[in-house]
Chains A and B, each alone.
Chain A
């Protein structure tokens, strides 16, 4: 079993829909990162959080440390949100980043 699991693996939505991507992890962490990767490879850091909730524009990230679970929400989704969304955790034991497999999101107009 992977140390970081994301669901769903693939997601197709209509423009305007509310989207949720989930991330569960099984290791102790010092921080959790949500990343966005567009076709071609470039990765952008969306959020880094260790507790609670963060919001940036239409994106919201939450984390529940006790349940070892985080969610990334996209409100009023748009075709330009189409990308791979990756959850990664900074292991509190080893320090290194452990990545989930990614969730491929396609938002149709």
Chain B
């Protein structure tokens, strides 16, 4: 059974640029959630995808968008990067959404200069 993987592991961008982060779900999981974790803080929910449809969104602006593909892998896109977007971005997959055990990937650390 393959675990959740994310790419890249680290990324440095400058303000105003766009970034795409990728996540491959654990085998058999059809739900992917994305979280932003600033240094020293707990994760904040960005959004969740279930069977290729957005299924809930946190308090993040529209420049944070996502996609889920037929194989249940997922992308997080952030446009017009701001310094405050510097954080660890985590994805987690599950079978049944929020009330199921979440399997987290290792995260992508994004630095915006």
Q: Does B100 contact A (CB under 8 A)?
A: yes
Q: Does B69 contact A (CB under 8 A)?
A: no
Q: Does B70 contact A (CB under 8 A)?
A: no
Q: Which residue of A lies closest to B98 (CB)?
A: A90
The minimal Cβ–Cβ distance linking B86 to chain A, given in whole angstroms, is 14
The minimal Cβ–Cβ distance linking B2 to chain A, given in whole angstroms, is 15
Taking residues whose C-beta sits less than 8 angstroms from the other chain, chain B's interface range is: 20 to 34
Q: Does A26 contact B (CB under 8 A)?
A: no
A41 touches B90 (CB 8 A): yes
B43 touches A31 (CB 8 A): no
Q: Does A64 contact B (CB under 8 A)?
A: no
Q: Does A22 contact B (CB under 8 A)?
A: no
B104 touches A45 (CB 8 A): yes
Q: Does B48 contact A (CB under 8 A)?
A: yes
B90 touches A43 (CB 8 A): yes
- What residues on B are CB-neighbors of A97 within 8 Å? 33, 35, 43, 45, 98, 102
Max chain A CB contacts within 10 Å: which of B42, B43, B103, B106? B42
- What residues on B are CB-neighbors of A35 within 8 Å? 102, 104
Q: Which of the 9-residue segments A55-63, A75-83, A99-107 touches chain B?
A: A99-107
Q: Does B109 contact A (CB under 8 A)?
A: yes
- A interface vs B, CB < 8 Å? 4, 30-31, 33, 35, 40-45, 48, 50, 86, 88, 90-91, 94-102
11 more contacts with CB within 8 A, not counting A48-B99, A90-B99, A96-B98, are A40-B106, A42-B106, A42-B107, A44-B104, A95-B98, A96-B48, A96-B56, A99-B42, A99-B44, A99-B45, A102-B41
